[in-house]
């Protein structure tokens, strides 16, 4: 199953968020390959741990890249989930409402920790074991060392 999921991800060239859905396009044909029904306002998408992950208003949706089936929904009604990144052990999501970056365990599909980062975190990127977080509201960039 993991090899098939990696192959499916390799064929997806672009994801597009529309309304309450994420559309996956086939790299070779440009045709719609997968449609994932999400919570309102899907924002960013990441692929890791054999799954796709999409941030939405109040939820992070884990889905099968091959079929589009929702595998888990991680809810926090007060959260303004936006940016998303993956490192070797976790999924990390920016919560612009709470001023935190939440850690999601890929084995439990639930939030297992939070780090306060500033005002309005929006985007996250994982580079060489570190996370870089763009705090939109206060105009700062923060570097986190989750493995240390």
pLDDT 10s digits, 3-54: 554 444 445 446 666 678 788 777 788 888 888 888 888 889 999 999 999 9
Q: Which residues contact 132 (CB under 8 A, 6 or more apart)?
A: 124, 125, 126, 141, 142, 143, 144
What is the structure's pLDDT at 10?
A: 46
| pLDDT given at position 83 | 94
Mean pLDDT of 66-74: 92
- Beta strand pairing status for 70-86 and 45-48? unpaired
What lies within 8 Å, CB to CB, of 146 at 6+ separation is 87, 89, 90, 92, 103, 129, 130, 131
Angle at 113 between CA 107 and CA 119, to 5 degrees: 130
The string of pLDDT tens digits covering residues 72-98 is 999 998 899 999 999 979 999 999 999
């Amino acid at each position: 199953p993991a090899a098939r999921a990696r192959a499916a991800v390799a064929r997806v060239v672009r994801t597009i968020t529309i309304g309450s859905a994420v559309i996956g396009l086939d790299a070779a044909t440009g045709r719609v390959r997968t449609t994932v029904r999400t919570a309102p306002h899907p924002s960013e998408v990441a692929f890791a741990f054999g799954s796709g992950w999409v941030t939405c208003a109040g939820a992070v949706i884990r889905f099968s890249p091959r079929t589009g089936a929702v595998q888990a929904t991680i809810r926090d009604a007060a959260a303004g989930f936006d940016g998303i990144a993956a490192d070797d052990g976790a999924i990390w999501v920016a919560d612009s409402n709470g001023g935190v970056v939440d850690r999601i365990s890929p084995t439990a599909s639930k939030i297992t920790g939070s780090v306060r980062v500033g005002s309005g975190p929006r985007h996250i990127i994982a580079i060489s074991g570190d996370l870089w977080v763009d705090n939109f509201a206060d105009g700062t960039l923060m570097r986190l060392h989750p493995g240390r």
